[in-house]
Amino acid sequence: MKILLFILLFLARDKTDLVPYDRFHTCTYYSSSLVARARAENIMAWRVDILFTHEIGHSIVALQTADGLVYVEPQTDTIYSNVKVGNRLCSEDLNLCIGEEPIRKIIYQYIINPNAVEAK
């Protein structure tokens, strides 16, 4: 999938991925933060909760483009491809895969108040 330049520029400006991971800053925090920041720049965004077959889930972000959704790992700005039930959650170049299990369920969360997460 062709990633549009405005998405790559947005991710380059965004600092969500620089926040250290800890018990307060989990994947849900990172996803909600990136959604808030994207919407602040008028980019339609959703938090996407991924449930795996036997493993714990993970949260990523879907950003709307004219060509469809672009899936982003908010902790690293990695672009995921082929986000579908039955597939593994892997980056475009397959260098990064989250877990060993295939995706069991994908839940799109439209955060009503994304500003509840501070967008700095």
29 domain-assigned: yes
Lowest mean pLDDT among 6-20, 43-57, 90-104: 90-104
Q: How far apart are CA 23 and CA 20, in angstroms?
A: 10
Dihedral over Cα of 36, 67, 78, 46: its sign: positive
Asked if residue 103 is part of any domain, the answer here is: yes
- 3-state DSSP: the chain helix, strand, coil percent, rounded to 5? 25, 30, 45
CATH of the domain at 93: 3.30.460.70
pTM score = 0.85
- Number of domain units in the chain: 1
Q: Is 117 inside any structural domain?
A: no
Q: Which residue has the tokens 């902790």?
A: 75
Domain hosting 93: range is 5-112
Per residue in 22-76, pLDDT (tens digit) is: 888 888 899 999 999 999 999 999 999 999 988 788 999 999 998 889 999 999 9
What confidence score (pLDDT) does residue 92 get?
A: 73
Domain contains 118? no
